[in-house]
Structure 1
């Protein structure tokens, strides 16, 4: 079955503990201790860390910092950092949330949930495969997470913890990709139920998102079940000699000045022509535009495609490009501010 008690917890961090290799050889975690009071910090004593790793008066969330899943010979994680996550319409939704836990709703509404494949939360090719606890600065995931976590504590920033709420009600886990799993963990597969950590630093109104998966998880998954539909894993995809994003979404005309329909510009990065027959464009609401039978892109050419069947929202949206097999080729997102100016296109960085 999909991940139980999935949702997002809006909270404030007050303490964290990193498990090193000597603490847990098999599957070490980063434990985040938090409360969900909007004003004031509850009384607690972090020196009273119990054997069950809990601290009285605080909730706890765990983030994997070494894989305990998949291939026993590959303990690597893959992670993405998006310092412009506020350009995703998800940020506007999160800002409106009250502090506390909010259960994820159905995948049609796609609210209060993350989906690494379908929500354009990050540029997939920016992912990094890193082992746990390797000597040298920024050579493991701990180095990447710690500075922002400490800053969130210092500034009392709002944090959004996506994952599964434990049976005790005081614990969050599975804060990682939860689809495309190897056979042993296939029962956890689902769409719109991925984990992650998003931080909003109110003082500077800046946002950052951390998203974590396992090297053994599949890059392409079924839209209904979340099961792998190809054998391509993140360890395959992020090899430097493989380039999957041959076609990218270069621009979107969300608020055109004339009466022409909303459209997107696709860019062919290859030195050969690419047929686009039966490729699709999908928005966050699930509307689909099927490209014409004769659609193609000449080498190194940009071309506009109208979207009469796939309206793009003025309030922010995500745009997913998929090939004829339904595999994700590219994805972008924008917020309501970017869509506000009439006549201008939104240009996406790749």
Structure 2
């Protein structure tokens, strides 16, 4: 069991990436006049090294009202607010199938963990309306030791911002229920939330409710939480999302013509009847016709109540196959929509 399970609430003021054998994304947080550092794991020290990752835009959960009411700084979740603790397996916030393997760093756009997390931080730096909530184990205050990355004194921070159960070997001592880590970001102006969930591929999702240890005979990676948000993308899909016009130039009548471009990457025609595009709020628009092998199709979003709307501050775009499974899902941040009339490539 981790020793000091806390949540840190504050405003981001700095971002660094360490380059040691266990890389983290380091975030400086200011809270009521005190500086802290959030150390977010970006790669596992043991194989398989790539983490499991979920980025949920428009996140909803019963704990959010309680989090918003917390004071800035550290809150002891075991002693003061156990009702705000996170448990991936039993809490209903996330499922194993919601998480995808995320390489630490790869060439190419938006295909690794850094390129999902760092823009979220950069867009929120020194913005008092954006509140960060980091769940994990606290350290400090270290009165005589400056922070290793941001040089503030005393050293303070939060780490273990990932699933903290289902581990074996040398990491088993950290297992426990109701102590999982996560990073949540709250836009207090729009009241929108973003959630980042992280886990290691070696962790088991069939865990004992009392100890958090893997259940005897259970295989790693199996097991699920109780609250499905959205299914895992079907990576073998022949139709994928290629681009989107998220922040179009306004028409003379004041309307906007948002669009999503899809591609048939296979060598066979695809019947698009039954396929759907959706936004992070799961508002959907149906597709139709046939898409020839290798062709692209730009779909104009109709807009209006109950239909997809692409938020300029960031969001998700999903493509549903006729089976009801997600054939593709892409995410974008506010920085990618800054140029009005430009198309975002995925």
**Same fold by TM-score greater than 0.5:** yes
Distance in 2 (alpha carbons) for counterparts of 1:162 and 1:249: 19
Q: 1:214 aligns with which of 200, 204, 229?
A: 200
Question: In structure 2, what is the equivalent of residue 13 of structure 1?
Answer: 12
Tell me if the contact between 1:161 and 1:195 (Cα under 8 Å) persists in the aligned partners.
yes
Q: 1:204 aligns with which of 167, 190, 196?
A: 190
Residue correspondence of structure 1 range 253-292 to structure 2 within 5 A: none
Question: In structure 2, what is the equivalent of residue 279 of structure 1?
Answer: none
Q: 1:93 aligns with which of 58, 66, 69?
A: 66
Question: In structure 2, what is the equivalent of residue 64 of structure 1?
Answer: 41
Change (3 A) 1:130 1:142: same
Distance in 2 (alpha carbons) for counterparts of 1:174 and 1:113: 14
Distance in 1 (alpha carbons) for counterparts of 2:122 and 2:220: 32
Task: Say yes or no: does 1:166 pair with 2:143.
Answer: no
Tell me if the contact between 2:52 and 2:200 (Cα under 8 Å) persists in the aligned partners.
yes
Distance in 2 (alpha carbons) for counterparts of 1:248 and 1:102: 26
Question: In structure 2, what is the equivalent of residue 77 of structure 1?
Answer: 51
Tell me if the contact between 1:152 and 1:199 (Cα under 8 Å) persists in the aligned partners.
no
Residues 101-142 of structure 1: CA deviation (Å, up to 9, x unaligned): 1001269x7423111111121243121112211111222111
Distance in 2 (alpha carbons) for counterparts of 1:210 and 1:152: 15
Residues 155-187 of structure 1: CA deviation (Å, up to 9, x unaligned): 331111111111436121111111001222111
Task: Say yes or no: does 1:34 pair with 2:29.
Answer: yes
Question: In structure 2, what is the equivalent of residue 179 of structure 1?
Answer: 165
Q: 1:127 aligns with which of 88, 95, 99?
A: 99
Question: In structure 1, what is the equivalent of residue 241 of structure 2?
Answer: none
SS in 2 for 1:94: helix
Question: In structure 1, what is the equivalent of residue 341 of structure 2?
Answer: none
Tell me if the contact between 2:11 and 2:126 (Cα under 8 Å) persists in the aligned partners.
no
Shift, 1:218, TM fit: 0.3
Q: 1:114 aligns with which of 68, 77, 86?
A: 86
Q: Which ranges in structure 2 are unaligned for 5 or more consecutive residues? A: 143-155, 229-324, 327-346
Paired residues in the alignment total: 215
Task: Say yes or no: does 1:152 pair with 2:138.
Answer: no
RMSD of the alignment, in Å? 2.5
SS in 1 for 2:125: helix
SS in 2 for 1:146: helix
Q: Which ranges in structure 1 are unaligned for 5 or more consecutive residues? A: 43-56, 238-243, 251-348
Tell me if the contact between 1:82 and 1:121 (Cα under 8 Å) persists in the aligned partners.
no
Give the alignment's TM-score, normalised by structure 2.
Answer: 0.57
Distance in 1 (alpha carbons) for counterparts of 2:210 and 2:195: 25
Question: In structure 1, what is the equivalent of residue 293 of structure 2?
Answer: none
Question: In structure 2, what is the equivalent of residue 228 of structure 1?
Answer: 214
SS in 2 for 1:92: helix
Distance in 2 (alpha carbons) for counterparts of 1:203 and 1:106: 30
Moved over 4 A (4+): 247-250
Residues 68-97 of structure 1: CA deviation (Å, up to 9, x unaligned): 2xxx33111001122232x21010110111
SS in 2 for 1:148: helix
Shift, 1:208, TM fit: 0.5
Shift, 1:248, TM fit: 8.6
Distance in 2 (alpha carbons) for counterparts of 1:144 and 1:165: 24
SS in 2 for 1:212: strand
Tell me if the contact between 1:155 and 1:201 (Cα under 8 Å) persists in the aligned partners.
no
Distance in 2 (alpha carbons) for counterparts of 1:73 and 1:103: 32
Tell me if the contact between 2:135 and 2:181 (Cα under 8 Å) persists in the aligned partners.
yes
Tell me if the contact between 2:94 and 2:227 (Cα under 8 Å) persists in the aligned partners.
no
Give the alignment's TM-score, normalised by structure 1.
Answer: 0.57
